[in-house]
């Protein structure tokens, strides 16, 4: 059976379609690339300044040291890719030219708002470029664990400062997939190792249950 993070990342991979230009945030989102089939021709956008992001070569002696990803780690560029500066990169993100983004979250609420840049009083990392891509991308997917050390994260209203209001399209946790449609939060899928009642207990958000609710058999996923 997969661990929580792999469950989340592998499920999100199914939301990415042929030809999509995709930006992955750090953390669980980066793992999504592992589960996307190479023959779909997905184009990964690297916020620091290129498209056709690929992992660093296995043989690091041939790695070009001037190619790094948005975490400053070694990377490479695929055939047909292109480099640009940060202004162009963020214009692509805000302008809708990156059509799917997958980002981590501290909290998501039933209005489709997400908080992911401040833990009040503790840690204020800042937004980086995540706010731009949340406003620009046609499909905003949040990848996060359903709870954190017993604290609820899928809320009626975010208690942490939000990063953007009403922008989330899909939330995937290890137990559930929610879609936000016409200002409604809808439970579309639930994992087979949790009941609807148990899910409700760890979710303070108001959500509806889809008529065609799907149960994901996590034992075979």
Partner 1 sequence: MSDKIISIEDATKMITTGMTLMIGGFLAVGAPNTIVDVLLDCDIQDLTVIATTSTFADKGWGKLIAQRKVKKAIVSHIGTNTETIKQFNAGEIEVEFSSLGSLSDRIRAGGTGLGGILTRVGIGTLLEKDKQKVIVDGVEYLIETPLRADISIVRASTSDENGNLICRRSTRNFNTLMPYASDICIAEVPEIVKLGEMDTDFIHVQHTLVDYIVKV
Instruction: Tell me the per-residue interface mask from 81 to 100 with partner 1, x by CB under 8 A, - otherwise.
Output: --xxxxx--xx-xx------
Is residue 57 at the binding interface for partner 1, with CB under 8 A as the rule?
no
Element holding 154 (H helix, E strand): strand 154-155
Is residue 119 at the binding interface for partner 1, with CB under 8 A as the rule?
no
Cα 141 to chain center, whole Å?
A: 4
* Secondary structure (3-state) at 20: coil
Among the residue ranges 3-11, 15-23, 63-71, 99-107, the one whose residues contact partner 1 (CB under 8 A): 63-71
Element holding 47 (H helix, E strand): none
Nearer to partner 1, 59 or 66 (CB): 66
The CB density around residue 188, as the number of other CB atoms within 10 Å, is 17
For strands 151-152 and 184-191, give the pairing.
Answer: unpaired
Among the residue ranges 27-35, 126-134, 178-186, 207-215, the one whose residues contact partner 1 (CB under 8 A): 126-134
**Separation of alpha carbons 41 and 66, rounded Å:** 24
* Choice from 24, 32, 33, 75 touching partner 1 (CB under 8 A): 75
Residues that bind partner 1 (CB under 8 A): 46-50, 64, 66-68, 70-72, 75, 77, 83-87, 90-91, 93-94, 113, 117-118, 122-132, 135, 161-165
């Amino acid at each position: 059976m997969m661990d929580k993070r792999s469950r989340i990342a592998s499920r999100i991979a199914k939301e990415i379609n042929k030809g999509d230009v995709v930006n992955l945030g750090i953390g669980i989102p980066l793992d999504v690339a592992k589960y996307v089939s190479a023959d779909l021709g997905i184009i990964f956008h690297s916020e620091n300044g290129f498209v056709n992001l690929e992992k660093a070569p296995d043989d690091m002696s041939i790695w070009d040291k001037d190619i790094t990803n948005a975490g400053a780690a070694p990377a490479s560029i695929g055939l047909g890719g292109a480099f640009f500066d940060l202004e162009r990169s963020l214009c692509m993100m805000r302008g809708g030219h990156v059509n799917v983004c997958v980002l981590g979250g501290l909290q998501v609420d039933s209005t489709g708002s997400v908080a992911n840049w401040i833990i009040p009083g503790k840690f204020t990392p800042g937004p980086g470029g995540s706010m731009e891509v949340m406003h620009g991308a046609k499909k905003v997917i949040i990848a996060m664990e359903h709870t954190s050390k017993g604290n609820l994260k899928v809320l009626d209203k975010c208690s942490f400062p939000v990063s953007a209001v009403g922008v989330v399209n899909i939330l995937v946790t290890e137990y559930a997939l929610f879609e936000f449609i016409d200002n409604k939060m809808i439970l579309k899928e639930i994992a087979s190792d949790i009941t609807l009642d148990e899910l409700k207990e760890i979710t303070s958000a108001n959500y509806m249950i889809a008529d065609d609710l799907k149960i994901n058999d996590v034992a075979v996923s």
